Amino acid sequence: MPQWVTGKVLDVNWWTPSLFSLRVCADVQPFKAGQFTKLAMQIGDKRVARAYSFVNSPQDPVLEFYLIEVADGSLSRKLSELKVDDEIYVDAQANGFLTLEEVPDADVLWMLSTGTAIGPFLSIIAQGKLWERFKRVILVHGVRHNDDLTYQTQIMATQRLFKQFTYIPVVSREAPQSGLAGRITEVLKSGDLSAYCGLHELPKSSHFMICGNPQMVKDTTELLIDRGFKRHRRAEPGHISVEQYW
Ligand SMILES: Cc1cc2nc3c(=O)[nH]c(=O)nc-3n(C[C@H](O)[C@H](O)[C@H](O)COP(=O)(O)OP(=O)(O)OC[C@H]3O[C@@H](n4cnc5c(N)ncnc54)[C@H](O)[C@@H]3O)c2cc1C
Ligand SMILES: NC(=O)c1ccc[n+]([C@@H]2O[C@H](COP(=O)([O-])OP(=O)(O)OC[C@H]3O[C@@H](n4cnc5c(N)ncnc54)[C@H](OP(=O)(O)O)[C@@H]3O)[C@@H](O)[C@H]2O)c1
């Protein structure tokens, strides 16, 4: 059962006509980078709740969420109307296993995301616990358009600070301004993704965290399984951890 607390909106940042970030002050319990909580609003006589990943690092007292206003979406439409000082419900208790705590040791950590699902990876990066554990960290962001490549200031700052970090935008519906053209699955299959990282193939000592569009998660997992990687389970360590957004 959710433990609802009242959150106050501190800031709303619109990146594009459909992508926005909310900064919220709410008294939630400690969470792990990569986890999500629930946000809710009263719609008519119903409290409508949906899951949203934390973008902020757990040590940051201000909560941040990165959202898309889904066409005809019931809660995302309502959340998109929020203004500074408005109130929402936040579940004080976080959930989810897409966290570094659940990832076994590997040389290369791949973070494969589409759309707003870059959020949990930004939280993990901001927390900073990954740099001692992995020789390389590769953040891949699959989006439709160049304008959907948000959080560039934070990502570029990480690139400047950590040589072991590689950021690869993958843009599917127009020519990319940087990075690769197509879908994550296509650039994985063609070898373009490895080549972009200066690798001949996907290193055996890799762990893949995959988050976002459920069909992307499914197709990418299948592709990696075909290449000899295994789903990771606590009882049976492997190479692939996933979270689907719908
Ligand atoms: C674990 C988890 C974490 C999530 N974290 C986030 C997050 O950080 N940011 C976020 O925007 N959403 C996130 N979602 C999705 C979110 O919970 C809602 O489904 C979304 O806001 C749509 O809700 P709605 O009521 O407006 O639309 P609904 O009426 O519930 O319509 C859902 C439809 O919207 C589309 N959709 C839903 N979410 C997305 C999305 N993120 N990107 C593109 N299309 C989508 C799908 O086609 C889906 O069938 C997460 C979902 C899960 C399960
Ligand atoms: N109203 C608008 O103008 C508008 C504009 C944009 C978005 N939206 C809304 O936003 C939602 C889509 O959001 P989004 O663009 O963030 O998410 P998305 O549709 O999941 O697309 C994000 C990226 O994932 C790719 N992808 C989709 N399926 C894949 C698969 N099976 N394997 C690999 N990659 C895959 C997409 O490629 P492809 O491009 O090849 O699909 C795209 O590059 C829609 O529900 C829509 O309501 C609305």
Question: At 190, phi and psi to the nearest 5?
Answer: -75, -15
Answer yes or no: do 29 and 138 share one domain.
Answer: no
Answer yes or no: do 83 and 104 share one domain.
Answer: no
| Dihedral in degrees, nearest 10, Cα atoms 153, 155, 19, 76 | -130
Q: What is the pLDDT of residue 8?
A: 98
Token pair for residue 168? Answer: 């690869």
Ligand 1 centre from 212 Cα, in Å?
9
Answer yes or no: do 87 and 195 share one domain.
Answer: no
Q: What CA–CA distance (Å, rounded) separates 245 from 51?
A: 8
**For the chain, the helix, strand and coil percentages under 3-state DSSP, each to the nearest 5:** 25, 35, 40
At a CB cut-off of 8 Å and minimum separation 6, what does 120 contact? 33, 34, 35, 36, 53, 54, 55, 96, 98, 113, 211, 243
Answer yes or no: do 75 and 133 share one domain.
Answer: no
Q: What CA–CA distance (Å, rounded) separates 76 from 71?
A: 9
CATH code for the domain in which residue 177 is found? 3.40.50.80
Q: Kindly report the average pLDDT of the chain as a whole number.
A: 97
Q: Which atom of ligand 2 is nearest to the CA of 116?
A: 16
Answer yes or no: do 115 and 57 share one domain.
Answer: no
Answer yes or no: do 159 and 218 share one domain.
Answer: yes
Answer yes or no: do 211 and 105 share one domain.
Answer: yes
Answer yes or no: do 226 and 119 share one domain.
Answer: yes
Answer yes or no: do 87 and 145 share one domain.
Answer: no
Q: Which of 91, 121, 152 is the last residue of a domain?
A: 91
What's the angle, vertex CA 241, arms to CA 122 and CA 206, rounded to 5?
85
Answer yes or no: do 119 and 222 share one domain.
Answer: yes
Q: Whose CA is nearest to atom 3 of ligand 2?
A: 18
Answer yes or no: do 130 and 84 share one domain.
Answer: no
Ligand 1 centre from 12 Cα, in Å?
18
Backbone φ/ψ region at 219: left (φ over 0), alpha (ψ -120 to 50), beta: alpha
Answer yes or no: do 204 and 122 share one domain.
Answer: yes
CATH code for the domain in which residue 77 is found? 2.40.30.10
Instruction: Print the domain residue range for 143.
Output: 100-244
Per-residue pLDDT of the chain (246 residues; tens, 9 = 90+): 999 999 999 999 999 999 999 999 999 999 999 999 999 999 999 999 999 999 999 999 999 999 999 999 999 999 999 999 999 999 999 999 999 999 999 999 999 999 999 999 999 999 999 999 999 999 999 999 999 999 999 999 999 999 999 999 999 999 999 999 999 999 999 999 999 999 999 999 999 999 999 999 999 999 999 999 999 999 999 999 999 999
Q: Which atom of ligand 2 is nearest to the CA of 68?
A: 10
Q: Which of 91, 118, 136 is the last residue of a domain?
A: 91
Query: Number of structural domains, the chain?
Result: 2
Q: Which of 91, 124, 153 is the last residue of a domain?
A: 91
